[in-house]
A and B are shown apart, each in its own frame.
Chain A
Amino acid sequence: DTGVSQNPRHKITKRGQNVTFRCDPISEHNRLYWYRQTLGQGPEFLTYFQNEAQLEKSRLLSDRFSAERPKGSFSTLEIQRTEQGDSAMYLCASSLGVGGGEAFFGQGTRLTVV
């Protein structure tokens, strides 16, 4: 396993369109996180899965955002009716264990809404 994989790496979309990103975590990792990072800022937490259960969602995750992790493997993050303010880097991370495990990040998906 070569690490956390995110696809696509870049996405340009028109305002109002829907987009979906995919994250493939390290295979034995049961925890998966989504973060959003805007220019000059640190990553901000969006949502967290333990196996297939979505256990926490940030207030940043409006009704236009939805995330899934079917079967506790890969995860998808969908943004409906995109807005220019959604333009950011979307990062996925995974870790192992009940807690304290090192978090490994993917390369991110950079979204540009025009």
Chain B
Amino acid sequence: KQEVTQIPAALSVPEGENLVLNCSFTDSAIYNLQWFRQDPGKGLTSLLLIQSSQREQTSGRLNASLDKSSGRSTLYIAASQPGDSATYLCAARGSGGYQKVTFGTGTKLQVIP
């Protein structure tokens, strides 16, 4: 059974700081890993998708890496802004069966002006 863990559960940083969010998964047989952003009371917004054959993906100030062998992914946010404040979730899609997606519990980020 896939288990996805995100550390830290909460993070508070001053504006402008670079930061790294961590995601670990127990079953390396994944199809892809996806990072989402969730604002309070809202749905999920897809940020980055990394296929199992890829090592990283970049979009603007965001960079996500994937190391399947160690069961880890990181989301790097450069030059953080108050608008980045949200909960960040990672989700691993299994490679077998119907490719179930398993979510972590998220990291709640607060960027202080």
Contacts and interface: CB of A to CB of B under 8 A. Distances in A.
Main secondary structure of the interface of B (DSSP, over half): strand
A100 B43 contact: no
12 contacts: A33-B101, A42-B4, A42-B105, A43-B89, A50-B98, A100-B99, A105-B36, A105-B45, A106-B43, A107-B43, A108-B43, A110-B41
A48 B4 CA distance: 20
Contacts of A56: 97-98, 100
Interface of B: 4, 31-32, 34, 36, 41-46, 49, 51, 89, 91, 93, 95, 97-106
B31 A102 contact: no
A42 B104 contact: yes
Interface of A: 4, 6, 33, 35, 40-45, 48, 50, 55-56, 89, 91, 93, 99-100, 102-108, 110
A48 B99 CA distance: 10
Nearest to A104: B46
Nearest to B44: A105
A105 B43 contact: yes
A105 B91 CA distance: 13
Contact of B46 (A42, A102, A107): A102
Best-buried of B43, B45, B100, B103 by chain A (most CB within 10 Å) = B43
Contacts of B32: 100
B105 A99 contact: no
Given A56-B97, A100-B51, A103-B34, A43 B44 contact: yes
